[in-house]
Chain A
Amino acid sequence: MIRALCAGTFLNAALTVLLSANAQEPPASAALQLKHACVECHNPETTEGGLDLTVLTFDLSDRAIRDRWTRIHDRIRNGEMPPQADQLPRDARDALVQSFQKAIHSADLADIQSHGRGPLRRLNRDEYEQNLRDVLRLPQLDIRDLLPEDREGHRYNKASESLDMSRVQLAAYLDAADTALRQALVVTPTPPVVTRFRAVATNLFPERSTFGEREAMFFAKDNKFVDGKILEELKDDPNVELALFRSAHWPYYGYPRGFIAALPGEYRVRFSARAVLQQSNYELTPAVQPVPMTFRARKPSGPDVSGDVRATGGLIDIQPAQATYETTLRLREHETFEYSLLGLPVPLARNVDGGPPTYRYPPFPEGGQPGIAFQWLEVEGPLSADIWPPPSHRVLFDELSPEVLASRMAPVSASNADRIRIPTADTFRLISPVELAEANRLLRRFVSHAAREPVPEDALQTFEQLIRKRLDANDTLSDAILAGYQAFLASSHFLYLREPVHADDQYAIASRLSHFLTNTRPDDTLMELARTSRLSHSETLKTETDRLISGAGFERFVQNFTDYWLSLRHVRRDDPDVRLYPEYRFDDYLVESMEMETRAFVTSLIRNNLPARSLVDADFAFVNDRLARHYNLPNAADIHGSAIRQVTLPAESPYGGLLTQAAILKVTANGTSTSPVIRGAWIMERIIGQPPPPPPASVPAVEPDIRGATTIRELLSLHTNSESCAECHARFDPVGLALENFDILGTWRTQYRGIEQGQRINGIDRAGHDFTYTLTEPVDAAGQLPDGRPFRNIHDLKTILAGNPRQLARNLLHQLTLYATGTPVRFADRAELESILDACAPTDYRVRDLLQALVQSPIFRGQDRSHD
Chain B
Amino acid sequence: MTNQQRSRRRFLRGTGVLLALPLLNCMLPRSVRAAETASPRRMLLISNNLGVLPKPFFPAGTGRDYELSPYLKPMAEFRNDFTVFSGLSHPGVTGGHSTENCFLTGARGPTKSGFRNQISLDQYAAEKLGLVTRFPTLNLGVNIDKANRSLAWTRDGVLLPAEDSAPALFRKMFVQGDAEAVQKQLKKLEERGSILDALRDETQQFSRSLGREDKNRLDQYLTSVREIEERLQTARQWEQRPRPTTTQTPPADVQDHKLFFEKFDLMLSMAQLALESDSTRIVTLMVDAFATPAFRLGENENTTTDYHNLSHHGQADEKVKQLEEADRRQMTLLTKLLQNLAGRPAGTERLLDSTMILFGSNMGDSNTHDNTNLPILLAGGGFRHGQHLAFQRDQNTPLCNLFVTMLQNLGLETDAFASSTATLSEITR
| Bound Cα distance A164, B223 (Å) | 12
Q: When each residue 139-163 of chain A gets 1 if its CB lies under 8 Å from chain B and 0 otherwise, what string results?
A: 0000000001111100000001000
In the complex, which of the residues B3, B147, B370 contacts A699, with contact meaning CB atoms closer than 8 Å?
A: B370
> CB distance B369 to A695 under 8 Å?
yes
Closest to B301 in A: A579
| Bound Cα distance A868, B207 (Å) | 13
B348 contacts across to A, CB distance below 8 A = none
> CB distance A168 to B367 under 8 Å?
no
In this complex, the interface size class of chain A, counting residues with CB under 8 Å from chain B, is 35 or more
| Bound Cα distance A119, B315 (Å) | 47
A169 contacts across to B, CB distance below 8 A = 158, 224
> CB distance A168 to B160 under 8 Å?
yes
> CB distance B2 to A304 under 8 Å?
yes
B247 contacts across to A, CB distance below 8 A = none
> CB distance A115 to B315 under 8 Å?
no
> CB distance A698 to B96 under 8 Å?
yes
Q: Tell me the residues in window 92-132 of chain B with beta carbons closer than 8 Å to chain A beta carbons.
A: 94-96, 98, 111-114
In the complex, which of the residues A64, A151, A670 contacts B305, with contact meaning CB atoms closer than 8 Å?
A: A670
A307 contacts across to B, CB distance below 8 A = 4, 255
A170-B221, A577-B294 known; A116 vs B211 contact (CB < 8 Å)? yes
Stretch at the interface among A216-224, A385-393, A487-495: A487-495
Q: Report the minimum CB–CB distance from A174 to chain B (whole Å).
A: 7
A160 contacts across to B, CB distance below 8 A = 217
| Bound Cα distance A673, B293 (Å) | 12
A229 contacts across to B, CB distance below 8 A = none
Q: Tell me the residues in window 167-217 of chain B with beta carbons closer than 8 Å to chain A beta carbons.
A: 190-192, 194-195, 197-199, 201-203, 205-207, 209-214, 216-217
In the complex, which of the residues B3, B156, B207 contacts A164, with contact meaning CB atoms closer than 8 Å?
A: B156
Closest to A119 in B: B213
Q: Name A's interface SS.
A: loop
> CB distance A167 to B228 under 8 Å?
yes
> CB distance B309 to A670 under 8 Å?
yes
In the complex, which of the residues B191, B194, B294, B369 contacts A698, with contact meaning CB atoms closer than 8 Å?
A: B369
Q: When each residue 560-585 of chain A gets 1 if its CB lies under 8 Å from chain B and 0 otherwise, what string results?
A: 00000000000001110100000000
Q: Tell me the residues in window 623-682 of chain A with beta carbons closer than 8 Å to chain B beta carbons.
A: 670-673, 675
In the complex, which of the residues B2, B159, B202 contacts A459, with contact meaning CB atoms closer than 8 Å?
A: B202
Closest to A114 in B: B211
A458 on the interface (CB 8 Å rule)?
yes
| Bound Cα distance A152, B370 (Å) | 24
A165 contacts across to B, CB distance below 8 A = 158, 217, 220-221, 223-224
Closest to A490 in B: B199
> CB distance B228 to A672 under 8 Å?
no
Q: When each residue 429-458 of chain A gets 1 if its CB lies under 8 Å from chain B and 0 otherwise, what string results?
A: 000000000000000000000000000101
A152 contacts across to B, CB distance below 8 A = 147-148
Q: Report the minimum CB–CB distance from A487 to chain B (whole Å).
A: 5
Q: Report the minimum CB–CB distance from A309 to chain B (whole Å).
A: 13
Closest to B206 in A: A492
B220 contacts across to A, CB distance below 8 A = 164-166
Q: When each residue 685-711 of chain A gets 1 if its CB lies under 8 Å from chain B and 0 otherwise, what string results?
A: 000000000111111011111110100
In the complex, which of the residues A149, A470, A868 contacts B212, with contact meaning CB atoms closer than 8 Å?
A: A868
> CB distance A120 to B210 under 8 Å?
yes
| Bound Cα distance A577, B195 (Å) | 52
| Bound Cα distance A695, B309 (Å) | 14
Closest to A463 in B: B198
B199 contacts across to A, CB distance below 8 A = 487, 490-492
| Bound Cα distance A788, B4 (Å) | 57
> CB distance B197 to A116 under 8 Å?
no
Closest to A153 in B: B148
| Bound Cα distance A458, B198 (Å) | 11
A490-B199, A492-B206 known; A174 vs B225 contact (CB < 8 Å)? no
Q: When each residue 390-434 of chain A gets 1 if its CB lies under 8 Å from chain B and 0 otherwise, what string results?
A: 000000000000000000000000000000000000000000000
| Bound Cα distance A118, B94 (Å) | 28
Question: Which of A152, A462, A675, A705 is most buried by chain B, counting CB atoms within 10 A of its CB?
Answer: A462
| Bound Cα distance A475, B223 (Å) | 28
A116-B213, A492-B218 known; A304 vs B3 contact (CB < 8 Å)? yes
> CB distance B368 to A702 under 8 Å?
yes
> CB distance A492 to B221 under 8 Å?
yes
A534 on the interface (CB 8 Å rule)?
no
Q: Tell me the residues in window 43-67 of chain A with beta carbons closer than 8 Å to chain B beta carbons.
A: 63-64, 67
A702 contacts across to B, CB distance below 8 A = 368
Closest to B216 in A: A119
Q: When each residue 235-248 of chain B gets 1 if its CB lies under 8 Å from chain A and 0 otherwise, what string results?
A: 00000000000000
A116-B211, A164-B158 known; A64 vs B114 contact (CB < 8 Å)? yes
B384 on the interface (CB 8 Å rule)?
no
In the complex, which of the residues B96, B146, B212 contacts A115, with contact meaning CB atoms closer than 8 Å?
A: B212
Closest to A697 in B: B94
A498 on the interface (CB 8 Å rule)?
yes
Closest to B365 in A: A701
In the complex, which of the residues B111, B190, B201, B224 contacts A473, with contact meaning CB atoms closer than 8 Å?
A: B190
| Bound Cα distance A491, B128 (Å) | 30
> CB distance B294 to A670 under 8 Å?
yes
> CB distance A698 to B202 under 8 Å?
no
> CB distance A170 to B202 under 8 Å?
no
Q: Report the minimum CB–CB distance from B146 to chain A (whole Å).
A: 5
> CB distance B111 to A694 under 8 Å?
yes
Q: Report the minimum CB–CB distance from B373 to chain A (whole Å).
A: 10
B361 contacts across to A, CB distance below 8 A = none
B387 on the interface (CB 8 Å rule)?
no
A171 on the interface (CB 8 Å rule)?
yes
| Bound Cα distance A512, B368 (Å) | 43
> CB distance A487 to B198 under 8 Å?
yes
Q: Report the minimum CB–CB distance from A501 to chain B (whole Å).
A: 8
A102 on the interface (CB 8 Å rule)?
no
> CB distance B161 to A148 under 8 Å?
yes
Q: When each residue 284-304 of chain A gets 1 if its CB lies under 8 Å from chain B and 0 otherwise, what string results?
A: 000000000000000000101
Q: When each residue 299-328 of chain B gets 1 if its CB lies under 8 Å from chain A and 0 otherwise, what string results?
A: 000101110010010111100000000000
Q: Report the minimum CB–CB distance from A327 to chain B (whole Å).
A: 28
| Bound Cα distance A149, B315 (Å) | 37
B206 contacts across to A, CB distance below 8 A = 456, 459, 492-493
> CB distance A120 to B194 under 8 Å?
no
| Bound Cα distance A638, B107 (Å) | 60
A483 on the interface (CB 8 Å rule)?
yes
A168-B160, A307-B255 known; A149 vs B146 contact (CB < 8 Å)? yes
| Bound Cα distance A169, B156 (Å) | 13
Given contacts A498-B214, A704-B312, 6 further A-B contacts (CB under 8 A): A164-B158, A305-B2, A473-B194, A492-B202, A670-B309, A701-B365
Q: Can you identify 30 A-B contacts, CB atoms within 8 angstroms?
A: A115-B211, A119-B216, A148-B146, A160-B217, A166-B224, A169-B158, A174-B195, A304-B3, A459-B206, A466-B195, A470-B194, A473-B194, A491-B202, A492-B203, A493-B202, A498-B210, A498-B214, A574-B293, A577-B302, A670-B293, A671-B293, A671-B294, A672-B305, A694-B98, A698-B96, A698-B364, A701-B365, A703-B367, A706-B316, A719-B314
Q: Which 8 A-B pairs have the closest CB atoms?
A: A706-B314, A149-B147, A698-B370, A868-B211, A701-B368, A119-B213, A466-B198, A167-B227
